[in-house]
Amino acid sequence: MYHNILVPISFDAERDTSGPLKLAKLLATPDAKVTLLHVVEHIPDYAISYMPAEYLTEARRAIQDELNILAAKLPNAKGVVVEGHSGRTILDWAETNKPDLIIMASHRPGMQDLLLGSTATHVVRHASCAVHVVR
């Protein structure tokens, strides 16, 4: 049983969040802290200039609302939105907040993943705690 669980959440269409959430509920101690973390990728300056000024604020608020809905399904869970590169930012957050387990959803790897590597692969290789990948 785990006391501090990190569940990175991706809202990509091919990712199913139900598996990681069920597993977090199953593996958590009764007083465990569960953090649902979403990483917003940095938008390049040249692209941001073409977006409405309120776009980032509204997008971030919508993501936080979705995380709060998911967090309400688990005891002692909260949603956190951060900005950065997904793999590196998940690891940085984990280094600072010391989870004893990271539960990640994964998709079926394709050719792109063989050449570039996936976020789950990066986290599995570099995390200092246990990582459970759910497919």
Annotated domain spans of the chain: 2-134
Average pLDDT, the chain: 90
| pTM summary value | 0.91
pLDDT at 116: 45
Residue-wise pLDDT tens digits, 26-50? 999 999 999 999 999 988 888 888 8
> How far is Cα of residue 95 from the mean position of the Cα atoms in its chain?
14
Helix (H, G, I), strand (E, B) or coil at 82: strand
Q: Which CATH number fits domain 2-134: 3.40.630.10, 3.40.50.620, 3.90.550.10, 3.40.50.920?
A: 3.40.50.620
Burial class (CB in 10 A: 0-12, 13-18, 19+), 72: exposed
